[in-house]
Structure 1
């Protein structure tokens, strides 16, 4: 049975797991958007900011499905 994720302690600071997942997924999506911009794929997109936001949401969902905090 899966347990409820709890805070992650880094030093004396406590971080909720979802915050760390969103930060990591933002960094990954920024890298994807950077590579897509270098390849010229962003010219086919009407609103690149919405694509980046959608990538953050999708990657956060994928990470939270596969990583369970103990």
Structure 2
């Protein structure tokens, strides 16, 4: 079972760290897509970024056993 990560007296749930990493990866992916001009092919960019973030959360939490 996953356990909390302690930073001093503050306990951080592992899922919060996974979501932060996934958000950074999704933002970076959309930044690259914007630079390459692929952003214009996406009808709803906010929903697409949210879906990509959920995919990254699933992939990170599945393949990293610490989280």
TM-score bracket, normalised by the shorter chain, equals over 0.9
Q: Residue 52 of structure 1: which of 49, 57, 65 is its match?
A: 49
Alpha-carbon distance in structure 2 between the residues aligned to 1:20 and 1:34: 21
SS at structure 1 position matched to 2:11:
strand
Correspondence for 2:7:
10
Cα distance in 2 for partners of 1:12, 1:35 equals 38
Structure 1 runs (4+) deviating above 3 angstroms are none
Pairwise CA RMSD? 1.2
**Corresponding pairs, count:** 67
Structure 2 unaligned segments of length 5 or more: list them. none
Q: If the length of structure 1 is used for normalisation, what is the TM-score?
A: 0.90
Larger RCO (CA within 8 A; separation ≥ 6):
1
